[in-house]
Structure 1
Amino acid sequence: MTVIDKIAWIRIENSAILSTRSHGKDVYYLPGGKREPGETDLATLVREIDEELRVAITPESVTPVGTFEAQAHGHAEGITVRMTCYAADYRGVLTASNEIAEVAWLGYADRDRVSPVDQIIFDRLHESGQLA
């Protein structure tokens, strides 16, 4: 089994979660990405969010949310994605950049518009009352 190791940012405002859609993709993903060799979770989170959304994560506000695993969207059966998620505050204005085509605030009703691992996260956040 192949596992894609990713770090993701969970940002919830007004009971909606920040999501992104990459150019050429048909589903939304939580912002974040793969770590580079030797990178910590925090360094990956800060770098990826700056690259994708042009905002600065506030390092002292970063808190772990959980690790989630599911079939990787758009990959062969048996390739899974393991997403370690963090909540954090930020500075700046959210702006789609690099591979990101669109930034959206999604609610639980949008669950079918996100990747399989994000669906698990949506379920967990909805059950805890954080995502409406």
Structure 2
Amino acid sequence: MIDKIAWLYLRDGRILSTRSRGKSVFYLPGGKREPGESDTETLIREIREELTVEIDPANIEPAGIFEAQADGHAMGLLVRMTCYTAEFSGTLAASNEIEEVAWLGYEDRGRVSAVDKIIFDHLLETGLLR
């Protein structure tokens, strides 16, 4: 099981997503925790590294846990994505590891990872994603 933390940041029915250098699929911002890190610490660090903004720890809210086949890994290896919402300060900008930042809608579901597809379905059902 690959354990990841993700940031769900929605605006006007679209969700912020990123594409890493050399990848063709979009992923929700976030990543793997480092040894000893809490979910909050991982979220803050990963978003700072990927998008150069500061997550406000005071308003981090859990948004669900989702599992699916891990992209690019052997069949049967799952990724567990623990998702949070939060506000931030600063200006969103792609870091060196991120090639593209995009606001995706449900019509872009085919452009995201397997676990993100499940999250897109959930967000559509709850009326947050269009």
TM-score clears 0.5: yes
SS in 1 for 2:91: coil
- In structure 1, runs of 5+ residues without a counterpart are none
2:19 corresponds to which residue?
21
1:7 corresponds to which residue?
5
Kindly state the Cα deviation for residue 118 of structure 1 after the two structures are TM-superposed.
0.1
1:61 corresponds to which residue?
59
Number of residues paired by the alignment? 130
Counterpart amino acid of 1:66? G
Is 1:89 the counterpart of 2:87? The answer is yes
1:78 corresponds to which residue?
76
TM-score, with structure 2 as normaliser: 0.99
Identity percentage of aligned residues: 65
Q: Distance in 1 between matches of 2:61 and 2:123?
A: 15
Kindly state the Cα deviation for residue 4 of structure 1 after the two structures are TM-superposed.
0.5
1:118 corresponds to which residue?
116
2:47 corresponds to which residue?
49
Kindly state the Cα deviation for residue 98 of structure 1 after the two structures are TM-superposed.
2.9
Q: Distance in 2 between matches of 1:128 and 1:66?
A: 12
Q: Distance in 2 between matches of 1:100 and 1:62?
A: 23
2:107 corresponds to which residue?
109
SS in 2 for 1:27: coil
Q: Distance in 2 between matches of 1:102 and 1:96?
A: 7
TM-score, with structure 1 as normaliser: 0.97
* Structure 1 stretches of at least 4 aligned residues deviating more than 3 Å after TM superposition: none
- In structure 2, runs of 5+ residues without a counterpart are none
SS in 2 for 1:112: helix
1:34 corresponds to which residue?
32
Kindly state the Cα deviation for residue 18 of structure 1 after the two structures are TM-superposed.
0.3
Pairwise CA RMSD of aligned residues? 0.5
Counterpart amino acid of 1:112? G
Q: Distance in 2 between matches of 1:74 and 1:113?
A: 15
